[in-house]
Chain A
């Protein structure tokens, strides 16, 4: 079974600062994928970034980067130069083995960006 743990229910960050959202995972699958999704107050789920368990480099997408530490089973999301529009719920998720498997989500972190 897979499990995702997000220990920060809420975070505050000053506009233009960087922020790290924590995510640890547990799985017995040798191959897996890790995802981050953003859910603004409007409710939709927006895909941000993906990291494969065998990827040698940490994933980056614009202002988003994933700090992947396989031995520690952590996949923290780093948002650089925070913007007011980054205020939202952020979910870490994983899937095991193959591509067509369901996602397991953490409970989420609510990020609030302060002007």
Chain B
């Protein structure tokens, strides 16, 4: 158990809908990262937050947004969903000041868009 929690574990929805994925980082970790794992694109970085502020942006679509709250949990919002958004979404967290940069991954949320 990495200490990172993600809910829900599975999500099935229809095209055009909006969903919210939730992540709680390990206690004390200030950085939260969101990754998307799909069959065709592999594991891709979406967005990073550090202590409530957006730190880095990767291949995140405009239909997707995220935020990190004062208690450091984070939410990833996916809207106008398309079939191609079906994927495993991971949240990871890391310790501030840890030069190794080891990231601890949550169990993932498997999103299926029908």
- Neighbouring A residues of B44 by C-beta, 8 Å: 105
A108 contacts B102, CB within 8 Å? no
Give 1 or 0 for each of A43-77: 1 = CB within 8 Å of chain B CB. 11111001010000000000000000000000000
Which B94-114 residues have a C-beta within 8 angstroms of A? 94-105, 107-108, 110
Q: State how many residues of chain A have any CB contact under 8 Å with chain B.
A: 24
B102 contacts A100, CB within 8 Å? no
Provide the bound-state CA to CA distance between A74 and B98, in Å: 24
B42 contacts A107, CB within 8 Å? yes
Nearest Cβ in chain A — how far from B105, in angstroms? 4
- Neighbouring A residues of B97 by C-beta, 8 Å: 99
Interface residues of A (CB under 8 A from B): 33, 35, 37, 43-47, 50, 52, 91, 93, 95, 98-108
The one of B56, B90, B100, B101 that contacts A45, using a Cβ cutoff of 8 Å: B90
Provide the bound-state CA to CA distance between A107 and B41, in Å: 8
The one of A33, A103, A107 that contacts B45, using a Cβ cutoff of 8 Å: A103
B55 interface residue (CB < 8 Å to A)? yes
Chain B contact residues, majority secondary structure: strand
Given A43-B88, A44-B108, A50–B31 Cβ distance below 8 Å?
no
Chain B residues touching A, range: 20 to 34
A33 contacts B42, CB within 8 Å? no
Which 6 residue pairs across A and B have the least CB separation, nearest first? Answer: A45-B105, A99-B101, A105-B43, A102-B45, A99-B99, A95-B101
Q: Other than the known A33-B100, A102-B56, A103-B101, what 10 A-B pairs have Cβ atoms closer than 8 Å? A: A33-B101, A47-B103, A47-B105, A50-B100, A52-B100, A91-B43, A99-B97, A102-B33, A102-B45, A106-B42
B45 closest partner in A (C-beta): A102
Given A33-B101, A108-B42, A101–B56 Cβ distance below 8 Å?
yes
A100 contacts B94, CB within 8 Å? yes
Nearest Cβ in chain B — how far from A55, in angstroms? 10
A98 contacts B99, CB within 8 Å? yes
Provide the bound-state CA to CA distance between A70 and B67, in Å: 37
